[in-house]
């Protein structure tokens, strides 16, 4: 997530104090990414150093208001015009772990998949329940993003499990490993 660009976007609507920026950021993004005020100020310092913001005339000595510079405005324009980089293929932690499980003798990859699916499914249920109870449009939008991603992960896990079981049955192995915990199959492998 780009804190830098988020702050620049907020400053595009008018000059703000650090505390105001934090509050507005959380309100406009559904409060999903808690931002501490220290992070806001350190980011503002960097933005100032890079000439993207400047300290506006301070009405109160203890509070500093920040304003967007022309360069800052151009940076925001460029950010809207550029897609968020798509994650590099192959750097997915879950894919990595399951790839290792599949190629490790004695590890029940099916059990690893079940544990992962259970965890994602549980969080999907929680997201769904929170969304149902919510009246915050910003949070709904963010919740939907998380819901669709969790769904995609489960579809991929199901797909992988099915492929794995087809490969096993072609190789004359039992079609599906009996369901059991990862710990149990590791203990068995250790024996």
Contacts (Cβ under 8 Å, ≥6 apart) of 102? 109, 164
Nearer to another protein, 58 or 175 (CB): 175
Nearer to another protein, 19 or 33 (CB): 33
What is the closest distance, in whole angstroms, from the C-beta atom of residue 179 to another protein in the complex?
A: 5
What is the closest distance, in whole angstroms, from the C-beta atom of residue 65 to another protein in the complex?
A: 32
Nearer to another protein, 75 or 161 (CB): 161
Q: Which tokens is 44 given? A: 């503002």
Residues that bind another protein (CB under 8 A): 32, 114, 117-118, 120-130, 132, 146-151, 154-155, 158, 162, 175-176, 179
What is the closest distance, in whole angstroms, from the C-beta atom of residue 145 to another protein in the complex?
A: 10
Helix 93-103 × helix 137-170 angle, to 10°: 10
CA distance 93 to 99: 10
CA distance 124 to 143: 10
CA distance 55 to 18: 11
What is the closest distance, in whole angstroms, from the C-beta atom of residue 30 to another protein in the complex?
A: 10
Whole-angstrom Cα Rg for the chain: 24
Nearer to another protein, 19 or 148 (CB): 148
């Amino acid at each position: 997530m780009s804190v830098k660009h988020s702050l620049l976007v907020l400053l595009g609507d008018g000059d703000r104090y650090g505390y105001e920026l934090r509050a507005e950021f959380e309100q406009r993004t559904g409060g999903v990414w808690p931002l501490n005020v220290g992070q806001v100020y350190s980011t503002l310092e960097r933005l100032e150093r890079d000439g993207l913001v400047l300290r506006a005339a301070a009405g109160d000595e203890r509070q500093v208001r920040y304003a967007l510079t022309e360069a800052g405005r151009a940076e925001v324009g460029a950010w809207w015009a550029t897609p968020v980089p798509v994650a590099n293929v192959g750097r997915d932690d879950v894919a990595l772990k399951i790839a290792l499980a599949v190629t490790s003798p004695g590890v029940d990859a099916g059990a690893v998949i079940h544990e992962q699916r259970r965890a994602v499914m549980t969080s999907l249920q929680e997201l769904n329940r929170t969304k149902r109870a919510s009246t915050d449009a910003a949070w709904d939008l963010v919740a939907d993003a998380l819901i669709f991603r969790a769904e995609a992960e489960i579809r991929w896990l199901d797909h992988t499990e099915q492929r794995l079981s087809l490969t096993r049955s072609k190789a004359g192995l039992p079609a599906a490993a009996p369901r059991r915990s990862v710990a149990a199959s590791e203990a068995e492998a250790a024996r």
